Amino acid sequence: MAEDQQHGVVFPADAQGRRSTTAVGRAVVADALRPVDPVGAGAVERETAWRSEYVPWFRRLVEAGLATPDGAVDIARAGLDSLHERMRVRSGPETGAADLPLREWPQPPATGGRLEVRGTGERVEELVLPHRGDRLRGDDLRRQVDRWVEAGVVEPTVAEALAEVQAHPEWLRLEGHTVAVVGAGSEMGPLQALSRWGARIAAVDLPRKAVWDRVSATAREGAGHLVAPVTDGQPGADLLAEVPALADWLGEQPGTLVVGNYVYADGATNVRVSVAVDELSRRLLAGRGDVALAFLATPTDVFAVPADAVDHATRAYEHRSRLAKTVGRPLRTVTGGRLLRRPYAPGSDPGVVDSLVPQQGPNYALAKRLQRWRATVARHDGVTVSMNVAPPTRTRSVVKNRALAAAYAGAHRFGVEVFDPSTSHVLMAALLVHDLHTGGGPRHEHPWQDEAYAAAHGGLWRAPYAPRSALGLAALLGAGAARS
């Protein structure tokens, strides 16, 4: 990255001034493993091809924490500590600006005002889910969710959570809360749904006119109350550079403050902005006693899954069509077992599903794992946390990645359903509402069980094939559809 772009949260510079994402990523994963798997930590430190061989180590981070709940928490806490110790904040874009530890981030003078938008639309007072041109409510919505459960597209606990929201439509407004939607312009964020339900929203995104024209229009069309910081006359804030000011501003918001992380950026910037949100969350948690956290977990990651999901996938594999069996055997033989293989050893409890997509890169994996680590530690420390696995979705960031777009276009042939953004964002907003009204949902013995609760994984956990062993073929079959 060019030096004039290096501002705010940055990777540390070495003696030659280089900012290596590889060195940091490898070191953080090693530090995270060290409390429970020192052998694995040493192997990570000796990995010389991190960019191409990172996938097994992110799986090991999950597997190493399965033995005990404390082990999973120790991994998460060590990973967070390592990132916060290693990352730096650059005090200014000018040549010679100092790199400081995050904890020494200088406090800026108070500036700017705020944008305030009150919706003029009629409040939506029941859960309505857009789906393939329909607007599902009541029994129609329940039947669709039941179909997803039966097909293995979502976990059965999604149906339980949505049924509670349907039974309590008054929950939708989130009375007594302010939801900080960090990444307000995100396609997967809850801005539109919360606005329609009448919630109070503190919106944070970059000070870009196109973004705020869209955010403001969404707020006006809704029935809620949106506030946002203003910088130099323009709504928005640069999260990479303005965490202390944002922490002060959000710290003054009324009601229970929900810090919702919906940010995304390409490449190394994704790690930088994710660390910035985490530092913002850490400061708010330290300064207020009524902060909740919210995240969307990517389905293209590694998760422990319940025995019921393993059994579902095992049955799907054993009862696949005669054609699939005929084609699958030679493909597995020719590829050394890499294609169309079983997702789990039958009877695994829990199973481990590995849906990492290597093309997304180690920076994406680290940014998303950071969020899961924070959710694990915060929940362990008694904070209300909403973290739900979101379904594969045709967002702009996916469609612009040709390989992933093609894989999504062909995924239905292998038992995976890819959602439209209009469906995903309402579904995930409803699960957020459920979690905020139930103390973060049911408490489980092990953190992996918290992550598995109400997971809307699109079928990746219950499909007949290990995800990576099928997605390559899905990309070949879906290439034409993706281009069109």
- 386 within 8 A of 262, measured Cβ to Cβ: no
pTM of the model: 0.95
Whether 331 is in a domain gets the answer no
Residue 323 is predicted with a pLDDT of: 76
- Mean pLDDT, residues 409-429 taken together: 95
Whether 178 is in a domain gets the answer yes
Q: What total number of domains does the chain contain?
A: 2
- Residue of 226, 245, 225 whose CA lies nearest to 185: 226
Assess whether 42 and 152 both reside in one domain: no
Residue 31 scores a pLDDT above 90 = yes
Among 104, 129, 144, residue at a domain's last position: 104
- Amino acid (1-letter code) at residue 203: A
Assess whether 287 and 174 both reside in one domain: yes
The range of the structural domain enclosing residue 435 comes to 113-308+337-482
Assess whether 48 and 132 both reside in one domain: no
Whether 211 is in a domain gets the answer yes
Assess whether 61 and 123 both reside in one domain: no
Assess whether 72 and 187 both reside in one domain: no
Assess whether 347 and 476 both reside in one domain: yes
Assess whether 96 and 153 both reside in one domain: no
Whether 317 is in a domain gets the answer no
Residue 399 is predicted with a pLDDT of: 78
- Residue of 199, 163, 196, 165 whose CA lies nearest to 181: 199
Among 104, 139, 158, residue at a domain's last position: 104
* Residue 218: strand, helix, or coil: helix
Assess whether 97 and 190 both reside in one domain: no
Indicate which CATH number applies to the domain containing 446.
Answer: 3.40.50.720
Assess whether 284 and 401 both reside in one domain: yes
- 192 within 8 A of 218, measured Cβ to Cβ: yes
Residue 5 scores a pLDDT above 60 = no
Residue 65 scores a pLDDT above 60 = yes
Whether 134 is in a domain gets the answer yes
Assess whether 94 and 117 both reside in one domain: no
Query: Which band of pLDDT confidence, cut at 50, 70 and 90, is reported for residue 92?
Result: low
Residue 482 is predicted with a pLDDT of: 58
Residues, the chain, total? 484
Place of tokens 């939708």: 172
CB-based burial label for 113 (10 Å; 0-12, 13-18, 19+): exposed
> Which tokens sit at 324?
């699939």
Whether 323 is in a domain gets the answer no
Whether 315 is in a domain gets the answer no
Among 104, 131, 148, residue at a domain's last position: 104
Residue pLDDT, tens place only, 361-382 = 999 999 999 999 999 999 999 9
Assess whether 96 and 244 both reside in one domain: no
Phi-psi region for residue 454, left (φ > 0), alpha (ψ -120 to 50) or beta?
Answer: left
Q: Among 64-73, 180-189, 229-238, which is the least confidently predicted range? A: 229-238
Distance CA(444)–CA(385), nearest Å, equals 13
Percent over 90 (pLDDT), the chain: 83
Assess whether 152 and 126 both reside in one domain: yes
Residue pLDDT, tens place only, 187-205 = 999 999 999 999 999 999 9
Whether 151 is in a domain gets the answer yes
Residue pLDDT, tens place only, 240-283 = 999 999 999 999 999 999 999 999 999 999 999 999 999 999 99
